[in-house]
Each structure stands twice: as C-alpha cells, then as structure tokens.
Amino acid sequence: MKASIISLKSVKIPIPKPTVKPYEIPSLSSITAEQLPNNGFGLKNYHISKTKFGEWPVYKKIQNTKVTTEVKRIKGDLDQFKKDLTNACSFINSQNVTVNKKAGYLNIKGDVVEKVKSCLNENLV
C-alpha cells in the first residue's frame, strides 16, 4: 500500500532538543583595559587608508600663491603621525606642518608630494 499524504501528516517523530548553555555576559568590573579589542587606538596609534587605486592620499593644494601638501585620511593620533613623519622625512620641518584634528589631515608648506609618498612607502608599508 502506498503511503498517502494524510497518513504521513499524522506521524509525529519526536526530535530531541539540543541543550545549549546560554551565554553569560561578564561583569564590567572583571574586564581590564588590555582585554578590549580596540585597546589604545588613538593614543600614539594612527592609520592612513589608501585610495581605491592603492595610492597614498597625499595631494598638492594651491590657494592663490600659497602651495601646500596635504595628507588626508589619517585616523587616530595626528600629533604622533606628525612626529613620525618629521623624524622619517628629514626635509620636513615640524614648524611647517599644521594639523587639523577634526578633519583628520596634515598640511605641509611647499610642494613635497612625491617625497612624502616615497617616505610613506619606505616607512609605513
């Protein structure tokens, strides 16, 4: 005899329920600062994301007769990046560098785009 749909619907097979231990959230007092995933980012840490073409975001900016080099897309500690850049690139004077922390970019007096890109390739890659 062929099994019909009606007879198959009436058959109930018990399925065992898996025993899953519920996740317990640890208390905040038991977590230390070293255990956090983004431990210390922004304090002596920085990240510069490249453009979609794989280039460093270093651009020449011209306003009237003033020529500056702008390094964009800096996240984290901009002051530390300024120190590291002036130490790595001997041609940059720290007095000629201005930092915009809210927008996340650095301005350097003069046209030093290619020198900064090569310096970043040597020291940050």
Q: How far is it, in rounded angstroms, from Cα 92 to Cα 39?
A: 31
Partners of residue 70 on adjacent β-strands: 59, 107
- H-assigned helices in 11-97: 78-88
pTM: 0.65
Average pLDDT over residues 25-32: 86
pLDDT of 2 strictly over 70:
no
Torsion of CA 17, 21, 23, 28, to 10 degrees: 160
- H-assigned helices in 12-94: 78-88
pLDDT band at 9 (very low <50, low <70, confident <90, very high): low
72 is a domain residue:
yes
Task: Determine contact, residues 86/94, Cβ cutoff 8 Å.
Answer: yes
How many domains are there within the chain? 1
Question: Which residue has tokens 């983004």?
Answer: 38
69 is a domain residue:
yes
68 is a domain residue:
yes
22 is a domain residue:
no
- Domain of residue 57, CATH code: 3.30.780.10
4 is a domain residue:
no
93 is a domain residue:
yes
Q: What is the pLDDT of residues 32-78, one digit of tens each?
A: 877 777 666 666 788 899 999 999 999 999 999 999 999 999 998 89
Q: Where in the sequence is the domain holding 81, given as residue range(s)?
A: 39-124
Q: State the pLDDT at residue 7.
A: 62
Q: What does the angle CA 50 – CA 55 – CA 56 come to, to the nearest 5 degrees?
A: 60
Which one-letter DSSP state was computed for residue 54?
S
20 is a domain residue:
no
44 is a domain residue:
yes
